[in-house]
């Protein structure tokens, strides 16, 4: 069975295949690197924002890999989204930063990877009175 069979409506298998073919996977973490561009999550984000998060199409979202992310009491953190600080927004021209654990990402299936990117995008929002905001979980 094709791993892309049965993708949610609005998310085309050909688009996902193209993203996978263009970017591929990095097999080893580069020495002396703290962060690196997360190109595949960024490509998935573009597809997911177009299909499901239209309110975020104007948002400038940076996607980064860090080798590992810390977690809370026995929980493994796979990714973390946050609103860019005013300084970062000014200097880097971004509204949100999503950081992914490169180690955890490598152990995820394609569906899990798409779900992680979608979940992190759900933390990005816009308040008409305030502008871009970080949206918390419904239940912590």
pLDDT one-digit tens code per residue, 80-95 = 999 999 999 999 999 9
Whole-number pLDDT of residue 21: 76
- Cβ–Cβ < 8 Å for 55, 126: yes
pLDDT of residue 1: 43
Residue with tokens 């796979």: 78
Task: Specify the pTM.
Answer: 0.88
Burial of 22 (0-12, 13-18, 19+ CB in 10 A): exposed
pLDDT score of 25: 63
Q: Give pLDDT < 70 ranges for the chain.
A: 1-2, 24-26, 71-74, 139-140
Sorted by sequence, the CB contacts under 8 Å of residue 125 that are 6+ apart come out as 55, 56, 132, 133, 134, 135
């Amino acid at each position: 069975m094709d791993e892309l069979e049965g993708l949610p409506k609005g998310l085309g298998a050909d688009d996902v295949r193209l993203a996978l073919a263009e970017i591929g996977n990095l097999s080893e973490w580069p020495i002396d690197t703290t962060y690196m561009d997360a190109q595949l999550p960024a490509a998935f984000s573009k597809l997911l924002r177009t299909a499901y998060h239209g309110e975020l199409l104007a948002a400038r979202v940076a996607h980064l890999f860090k080798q590992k992310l810390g977690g809370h009491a026995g929980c493994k953190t796979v990714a973390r989204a946050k609103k860019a600080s005013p300084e970062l927004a000014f200097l880097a021209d971004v509204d949100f930063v999503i950081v992914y654990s490169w180690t955890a990402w490598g152990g995820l299936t394609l569906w899990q990877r798409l779900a992680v990117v979608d979940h992190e995008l759900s933390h990005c929002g816009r308040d008409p009175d305030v502008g871009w905001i970080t949206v918390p979980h419904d239940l912590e």
